[in-house]
Structure 1
């Protein structure tokens, strides 16, 4: 067995996938003996620890990013990770709901930002967002998930608005940075494992 195949096997086992699981993308890396698989494994492992987020919060952010990215294997992994670290069914459902809500918000507010037309800021959005009023995960953490999803979806206006809200709520920049770092690495893993 090649070193690349061994590293892929270790990565898959850490995500609770069978050693023989392959996507076309993983097969390309394996066939080319890509050294990147070692980076991928280390980067994915680093999503599971943080000095600024609890394991439960990491699991919930991971679940929300996996929902956002339509990634079934990573959704299963992060849902189990969140549950094993104390997340309730309601909190996990809220992570999924956050991804859905932010999908609409990110598209809508990106449109407003891109066009830069005053008229579009005057027309009511008519997007219901009651979940943001009293989230079961708490206002601060819901904003943190919203920021991470907005960063993945590339909505500058949303990223700035959520980051501003978080700072006003007393969140540290290190906590914000870690949430986005984790979201970026989960997204990178999901490009090869889906």
Structure 2
């Protein structure tokens, strides 16, 4: 399924999502690798098969390398774990948990297989989908250290928000059918 075919499956009430999906596919604030990696990471974070398939097809057609696609999936995977863990530490009022070592493997953060900034953008997008404020702050701070402008970070967040919403609509419509 292509991105256009995915857009056509959206019901009329989600027309804004369709328009946003189209405009974000043409986004120029991010490099193509950053943009399509954010799409892939976000789609995998959402986990709706039709969305994953359409986004991966669009990313491949746009020239996203196999290495970048793997790194984007790795961002979704590692943040799927980290976002739950660190969000829990933030929400639990017992501060002792924050003093304990995580004892979770996170090797991909040190060697993601793509430029660090790109991977950090993708982790930021996934953290937004998963609602982890601690991870959003940490990844945004890392991006700022590398001089990434707010508009680029916002672009990744916009991609995450639209892919998330599209996934929810597609899943909701499938459940109602």
Q: Given the two structures, how large is their TM-score scaled by the length of structure 1?
A: 0.80
Matched, 1:113 2:81: no
Structure scoring higher RCO (CA < 8 A, sep ≥ 6) equals 2
Match of 1:183 in 2: 160
- Between the aligned partners of 2:105 and 2:2, the Cα distance in structure 1 is 40
Aligned ranges 1:1-194 → 2 under 5 Å: 14-16=3-5, 29=11, 34=12, 36-194=13-171
- 8 Å contact kept, 2:7–2:21: no
* Greater share of helix: 2
Q: Which moved more, 1:98-107 or 1:86-95?
A: 86-95
Task: State whether residues 63 and 74 of structure 1, in contact with CA within 8 Å, keep that contact through their aligned partners in structure 2.
Answer: no
Q: How many residues align?
A: 171
When residues 41 and 118 of structure 1 are mapped into structure 2, their CA distance, relative to the original with a 3 A threshold, is closer
TM-score normalised by L of structure 2: 0.87
How far is 1:18 from its partner? 10
Q: Distance in 2 between matches of 1:147 and 1:121?
A: 21
Q: Quick one: distance in 1 between partners of 2:108 and 2:25?
A: 27
Question: Structure 1 stretches of 5 or more lacking a match?
Answer: 1-11
The root-mean-square deviation of aligned C-alpha atoms, in Å, is: 2.1
Following TM superposition, by how much is the alpha carbon of 1:151 offset from its aligned partner in structure 2, in angstroms?
0.9
Structure 2: give runs of 5+ residues left out of the alignment.
172-177
Considering only CA atoms, is the larger Rg found in Structure 1 or Structure 2? 1
Matches of 1:163 and 1:18 in 2, distance apart?
Answer: 30
- The alpha-carbon deviation at position 137 of structure 1 amounts to 1.8
Q: CA deviation at 1:90?
A: 2.0
